[in-house]
């Protein structure tokens, strides 16, 4: 009979913990997969035609739309706005806001995205090393401006980030659009 030492017992308990964690993860993932399951239609027996003494017309059933779950495209549309004043964008400068709006509208037209609604925007502000706060505030302002000024962006959720780089006066928008049903 082989005796198990402390190290093999610890290893077995580690694997057991990892397995239990995996089961917990899969359980949570499957329970939050979204909403109620779509019912599967069952075939019912159709009544055979019968002769009735009264002639009555039954109304035709109206066709129903299939339910559609909204989801995002997995790859974002990346829009980069160069040569934009981050401090002007942060303070609500009209020229900076118009520049951002023009570039976004141009990119949407060129990529033929006019009929899609945006759902999530990750906004990145690029600034020199000392101005992280300015870059993040400008990125947030860019997202809020899109939400307020462009109808296809009115329902977006915004997350702002900043990059400390040598590149300045740049905003990058990663836009996740809803998938059409």
CB 138 within 8 A of CB 166: no
CATH code linked to domain 77-177: 3.30.1330.60
Per residue in 125-159, pLDDT (tens digit) is 988 777 888 889 999 999 999 999 888 888 889 99
Q: Where are the domains of the chain?
A: 77-177
The pLDDT assigned to 175 comes to 92
Average pLDDT, the chain: 78
What pTM did the predictor assign?
Answer: 0.59
CB 83 within 8 A of CB 167: no
The encoded tokens of residue 65 equal 């739309």
Per residue in 34-63, pLDDT (tens digit) is 555 555 556 555 555 555 555 555 666 666
Residue with the bigger pLDDT between 55 and 104: it is 104
């Amino acid at each position: 009979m082989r005796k198990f030492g402390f190290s093999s017992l610890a290893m077995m308990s580690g694997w057991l913990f990892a397995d239990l964690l995996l089961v917990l993860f899969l359980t949570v993932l499957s329970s939050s997969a979204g909403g109620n399951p779509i019912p599967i239609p069952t075939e019912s027996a159709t009544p055979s035609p019968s002769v009735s003494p009264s002639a009555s017309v039954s109304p035709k059933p109206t066709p129903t739309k299939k339910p559609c779950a909204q989801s995002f495209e997995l790859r974002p549309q990346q829009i980069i706005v160069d040569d934009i004043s981050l401090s002007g964008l942060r303070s609500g400068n009209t020229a900076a806001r118009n520049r951002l709006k023009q570039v976004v509208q141009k990119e949407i037209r060129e990529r033929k995205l006019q009929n899609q609604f945006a759902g999530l925007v990750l906004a990145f502000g690029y600034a020199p090393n000392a101005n992280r706060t300015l870059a993040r505030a400008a990125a947030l302002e860019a997202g809020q401006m899109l939400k307020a000024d462009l109808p296809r962006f009115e329902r977006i959720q915004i997350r702002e980030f900043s990059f400390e780089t040598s590149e300045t006066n740049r905003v990058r928008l990663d836009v996740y659009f809803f998938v059409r049903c």
